[in-house]
């Protein structure tokens, strides 16, 4: 808003008011009201003619919009943090952990074996675990998106659990690494061929692997991971939550680049 323009309008109005006041009679009240209106009209006219009024309105609307955006962002952040608190605690006996189990920072990833973004994110986290040298552990949980990857994503998740059942934690990660390396994503995988192939490559008993996969005994675990992903606010894959030693959580949506994830891990490491 133009201070000069406003000042001129106010000064003009005050001079006008002073002149009228010196000539007031018994009809002063009515005159005062009329004078106030004339002063107001003069000020508004001045503001309009100088463009100050339009600029003031634009600035006010801009500030209002920015304030609303900031408040919405704060609300969303609070809601996201509250949902992240629903994350199931990491348990060594249940979860698949890569890296130092005692690492102060944890990255929990909810992932879909058929998701191309999960495929691209996999080597990113692998690199982070390696470079943070015992300060970061990676927990893999299942988040099969049935609407996008019906049947196959759940079967692949169950297959990874069969690998863990037959070969332990190392076999799970070997399965996951090889699967993402070998397959094209988005329902283009011939699971009847690829799953047994990977099982053989990582040294699992083919008959026991096939029996485990046919039994469906890991379906419940996959569903539990899926529901926990939803409960924590996950709506797409990969959905990750970085947890500091103090328990502070940093939600991370999508296959974010290495630098972005590293920044959050560094932030979590600084948490006391």
Evaluate whether residue 259 is within a structural domain: yes
Residues 109 and 218 in one domain: yes
Q: State the total domains in the chain.
A: 2
Least confident of 9-13, 31-35, 63-67, 73-77: 9-13
Residues 145 and 195 in one domain: yes
Evaluate whether residue 241 is within a structural domain: yes
Separation between Cα atoms, residue 221 and residue 128, nearest integer Å: 27
pLDDT at 78: 63
Evaluate whether residue 91 is within a structural domain: no
Residues 210 and 100 in one domain: yes
Where do we find the tokens 């300060």? 135
Residues 182 and 61 in one domain: no
pLDDT at 49: 82
**b/e map of 87-121 (b: 16 or more CB within 10 Å)?**
bbeeeeeebbbbbeeebbbbbbbbbbbbbebbbeb
pLDDT single digits (tens) 190-224:
999 999 999 999 999 999 999 999 999 999 999 99
Q: What does the pLDDT average to over 46-72?
A: 75
Output 243 or 57, whichever has higher pLDDT. 243
Residues 108 and 151 in one domain: yes
Evaluate whether residue 110 is within a structural domain: yes
Domain span at residue 13? Answer: 3-84
pLDDT at 54: 77
Residues 117 and 241 in one domain: yes
Q: What does the pLDDT average to over 14-30?
A: 53
pLDDT at 69: 72
- Sorting pLDDT into bands at 50, 70 and 90, what band is 183? very high
Residues 28 and 132 in one domain: no
Output 37 or 33, whichever has higher pLDDT. 37
Evaluate whether residue 89 is within a structural domain: no
Residues 101 and 78 in one domain: no
CA angle 17, 22, 25 (to 5 degrees): 105
pLDDT at 144: 98
Position 19 pLDDT exceeds 70: no
Residue 74 burial (CB < 10 Å; 0-12/13-18/19+)?
Answer: exposed
The contacts of residue 196 (CB under 8 Å, 6+ apart) are 206, 209, 210
Evaluate whether residue 90 is within a structural domain: no
Give the CATH number for residue 114.
Answer: 3.40.30.10
Percent of the chain with pLDDT strictly greater than 70: 83
Give the residue from 84, 114, 147 where a domain finishes. Answer: 84
- Sorting pLDDT into bands at 50, 70 and 90, what band is 136? very high
pLDDT at 55: 79
Give the residue from 84, 119, 144 where a domain finishes. Answer: 84
CA diameter of the chain: 111
Q: What does the pLDDT average to over 225-233?
A: 97
Residues 133 and 104 in one domain: yes
Give the residue from 84, 114, 139 where a domain finishes. Answer: 84
Position 61 pLDDT exceeds 80: no
Residues 36 and 135 in one domain: no
Residues 50 and 141 in one domain: no
Evaluate whether residue 21 is within a structural domain: yes
Residues 263 and 157 in one domain: yes
pLDDT at 218: 98
């Amino acid at each position: 808003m133009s201070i000069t323009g406003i000042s001129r309008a106010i000064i003009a109005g005050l001079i006008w008011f002073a002149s009228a006041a010196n000539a007031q009679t018994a009809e002063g009240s009515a005159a005062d009201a009329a004078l106030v209106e004339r002063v107001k009209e003069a000020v508004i006219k001045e503001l309009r003619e100088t463009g100050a009024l339009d600029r003031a309105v634009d600035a006010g609307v801009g500030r209002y919009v920015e304030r609303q955006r900031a408040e919405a962002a704060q609300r969303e952040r609070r809601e996201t943090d509250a949902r992240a608190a629903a994350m199931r605690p990491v348990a060594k006996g249940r979860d698949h952990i890569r890296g130092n189990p005692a690492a102060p920072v944890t990255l929990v990833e909810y992932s879909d074996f058929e998701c191309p973004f999960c495929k691209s994110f996999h080597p990113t986290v692998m690199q982070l675990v390696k470079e943070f040298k015992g300060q970061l552990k990676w927990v893999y949980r299942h988040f099969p998106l049935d609407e996008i990857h019906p049947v196959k994503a759940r079967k692949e998740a169950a297959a990874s659990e069969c690998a863990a059942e037959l070969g332990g934690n190392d076999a799970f990660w070997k399965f996951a690494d090889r699967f993402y390396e070998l397959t094209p994503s988005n329902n283009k995988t011939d699971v009847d061929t690829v799953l047994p192939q990977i099982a053989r490559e990582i040294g699992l008993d083919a008959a026991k692997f096939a029996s485990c996969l046919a039994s469906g005994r890991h379906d419940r675990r996959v569903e539990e991971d899926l529901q926990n992903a939803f409960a924590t606010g996950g709506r797409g894959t990969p959905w990750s939550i970085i947890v500091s030693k103090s328990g502070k959580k940093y939600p991370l949506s999508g296959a974010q680049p290495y630098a972005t994830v590293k920044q959050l891990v560094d932030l979590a490491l600084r948490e006391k």
